[in-house]
Each structure stands twice: as structure tokens, then as C-alpha cells.
A and B are shown apart, each in its own frame.
Chain A
Amino acid sequence: MALPLDPAEQLEALYVAEAPRLWRSILAYAGNASVADDAVAEAFAQLLQQWNKVRDPSRWIWRVAFRTASGELVSLGRHSISVPDRVLQPPEPLVDLLSAVRRLTERQRAVVILHDYADRPTREIADVLGISRSTVRVHLAQARRRLRAILEET
């Protein structure tokens, strides 16, 4: 961020600007508040170590948080670990929509949330997920098509 602030203020500004939306994005992606807490906290804690090296902290924090969450999901799936989660009550009709989103594949879910909720451009989504921009567009189109079918079922 190009604000004339000292590092402590910049970090706080980044937290205020990015953390809430990042946390909600990972909540919708992972379907688990504990994973969202962990990924966001871990990404910001790691940023402290890298602060003087990272030129684009906003983009960096999204990438590290999403990849941390993705790694946790892989680990949870592989080891069948049950993580106690907080009970959250999303507003209606968001419950149905999130339920439909969770029926997408992991990558489709990530792309549709990053694009349609977090308003990240496809270039940045490609960076966050480590895939090409064209693959992002393919996932987005497929996610929307599948969401349409799921929502029409219900």
C-alpha cells in the first residue's frame, strides 16, 4: 500500500483493509471457521518475518492464506481429522447458496469466492491459486454452470 505510514501502521492498515474479507472468503471456501482463523492468523504472522521483502503485501497475504487453508483441507481430507468448529449462523438466503457452493470442487469453490465475493481480478486469482489465468476462467465458467444446476434442483 502506498500510504506514508510506518511499518506498524502499514501492517494495521493491511489488517483492517484485508483481514475481514479474507477471513470470510476462506470461511466460505473451507466451510470451517477454525481453518479460516488459522489461515489468516498464520499468513499475517508470517508476513511479519517477510515485511521488508514483500513488495505487495495485499496480494501476498491472500496467496499465503489461501494456500495455507488449501493445505489444511488436504490434510483434513487425507487424515480424516475432525476439527471442532464454531457455530456460525449466516444470514438467509446465504445458507442455501453456501450449501450449493460447497458442492463445487475445491478449485471451483476457490475461484468463484475469490471472483464473485472478494472481487479479485482473474490475474490475481491465478497468482493466489498458482494456476494460469485461462484455467481460472475455465473454473469460473464451470463453477457457475454447476451452481446453476444445483440451485435449480433446490
Chain B
Amino acid sequence: MRVTKRIAELRDLDLVEPPDLRTEIHRRSEDIGPPYPIVPESRRTRLITGVLVVLILGASLLFLGRAFLGTEPPRPGATGSQLIAFAATQRDGSGPFVSVSAADGSGRRRLGPGWAPSWSPDGKQIVFQRANGDGDSTSIFLMNADGSDVRRLTADHGGYDEDPEWSPDGRLIVFTRGLPGGQTRDLYVIAPDGSGLRRLTPRRSDDFGASWSPDASQLALVRVPDGSLEGSQSRGPNQIWILDLETSRLRQMTEVPKGAYRPSWSPDGSSIAFEDGAGVIMILSLSDQSVAKLPIHGYGVDWSPESDQLLITRTRGEGDLAIISLTGNVLQIIGGPGRQAEGSWIAA
């Protein structure tokens, strides 16, 4: 029997009857806050009906929306004179492997295990994320652009070092660190030779997914408002903030209703691309802080060297990696065996 069918049998967990925890919640809440408001059984039935109606209406709207939205045919996009690095998973599920190809998808080469690659500004090295041991922790690694001389940049601390990005001046690499058992994430920088590890964000806040400004003086990042365990997700969803590295001043840049994730600063400095909580690609213009919503779903955005196109990992439609225009038109699909994700784009 196929493993996917066996995994689907997890749904039989629905046959396990959970306990009614309302009394226990009520008891605990008396210690820490107002009593838990128990709703009479007759009203519970009405509430369940209400929830079901909302779910059915939502599913119907989703179905109708998909039925009316088409997919644009791919058009010629970037030339083969630029390179992309990305994470590739093989058809048999093995991987992911950091891989490189020309920006038109030709000349694809597999370099080694890892994901979330980012080019050094001179294009000679790649920084990436790799699992340690059994895979429950990850560290940051470096290698030459041909896959040689792989070296560890951060130690295995049992947690996650993620999403590295090389600074445009080549001096530092920023990454997200989540410590084991920790409730928040922090941004760190480290020099490519492994020296100068430094935390940039306050430990109480939950900050992650940073991208450098072109002059390497600022970082765009994702911040969870009041990001302690108790306060996480409170006072609104994640938003894009900018951290000035000289003054340590933080400015909130977006107010996106569904939240904002994984910013990418354009090489010309004018814009920050990101995805919202529903996976829609958006572009923040830094001149007036306006946000343009593109008609395409994806994540892991990176800019073309000329700041005129985006490389995204698609979550709907054809292909895993796609080059799109700044209005969301698909210009080129970068396919291949298996799956490709999270590209990093550089002038060759």
C-alpha cells in the first residue's frame, strides 16, 4: 500500500474521543484570569451550526474563485547569462539539495545537501542551511559555487539556524536563530570566516526572515508583535519592519491584514517584496509605503539583479520556480525533475 494512503489513515484519529476539558480550563483560568464562560448545551448546537455554515460558504467561494482564475501561458523571460541557486528535491523524495542553473533553467547542477541558498555578492560562494544529524536541528554552511569546500559556519546548538542571506558588501551573513525550547526567534549576523557572531534583535521579541538593504546599513525583517509566548500573535499579525543597524531603531513598514512574511529587498533599494499570510506575493514601495498585491501565490521571493523581475516559488499552478514580472505575469517557469524551491538570483 502506498505510504500516502497509509498516512491518510491518520484521519482515523477522529475516532478517538477527546475528554471534555472545559472544567479543567475553568479551574486553571481561575488562577490566571477571568473564569471560563461555559455556554449551555442548547447554545452549543447553534454555534456548531453557525461554524458549519461559515465553512461551507467559504469553501464554495474558494471553488468559484478558482474556477474563474486562469493561468497565463509562460513567456520568454531572463537570459541564460544570470544564475540562480535553489533547493531541489528529487522525484524519489530524497533531498533537498542546493542546486544551481542559469536563470533560464539550463545547465542545472546539483551541489550538495541543504536548502535556502544565498549567493555571495561576487558569485563565488553560496551560504545555505543544512540539517544536523537526525534532522531536528539545522546550521548554516558555506561552499564554493561549484559545490567544493563545504564548511560549517554555525555550530549545532540543537535548534534552528535558518534563512541565511549574504550582505551586499560581502562582509556579513544574517540568519534567523531559534533555540531549542525557545518561544521566540532572533536575528544574528556572522562574518563569512565564522567570526563576530552577534545577536541583532531583542530576545523577548520574535523576529525572523531578514533581507539586507543594498547598502547593507538596514535589514527588512518579519516581527511578531509583542512576541513573547503569551503575547505572540497578539495585537495583529506579523508585519515587515526595518532595522537600522547603526541606531538599532526599528520601524514598522506594513499593516497587511493577513500578515507579512519573508521580505526581499530589491537591489535598486526602491522596494521590498514579500508574501502575505495567504501566500499572495506583494511589493512594498519604500517611497510612499504603498503595497501592491500581485495576482499570484508563492513564497521565497528574490529579485532579478536589475530589480525588474521576481523569482518566486509557486504554490499554485504550473511549476515550482517561476520568474514573474512586477505586475505578477509569469514570464518563465523553471521546471525539472522533482521539486524546486526558494531561488536566489545573481548576475553571472
Contacts and interface: CB of A to CB of B under 8 A. Distances in A.
Contact of A49 (B18, B33, B162, B232): B33
B51 interface: yes
B9 A94 contact: yes
A102 interface: no
Contact of A53 (B19, B34, B235): B235
A34 to B, nearest CB: 10
Main secondary structure of the interface of A (DSSP, over half): helix
B14 interface: yes
A3 B50 contact: yes
B281 to A, nearest CB: 13
A131 B229 contact: no
B9 A48 contact: no
Interface in A59-101: 59-60, 63-64, 67, 70-71, 74, 88, 90-91, 93-94, 97, 101
B162 A138 contact: no
Main secondary structure of the interface of B (DSSP, over half): mixed
A31 B67 CA distance: 41
A90 B16 contact: yes
Given A15-B22, A50-B230, A130-B183, A97 B48 contact: no
Contacts of A3: 50-51, 54
Interface of A: 1-3, 5, 7-9, 11-13, 15-17, 19-21, 23-25, 27-28, 33, 36-37, 40-42, 44-46, 48-50, 53-56, 59-60, 63-64, 67, 70-71, 74, 88, 90-91, 93-94, 97, 101, 105-108, 112-113, 116-117, 121, 123, 127, 130-135, 137-139, 141-142, 144-145, 147-148, 151
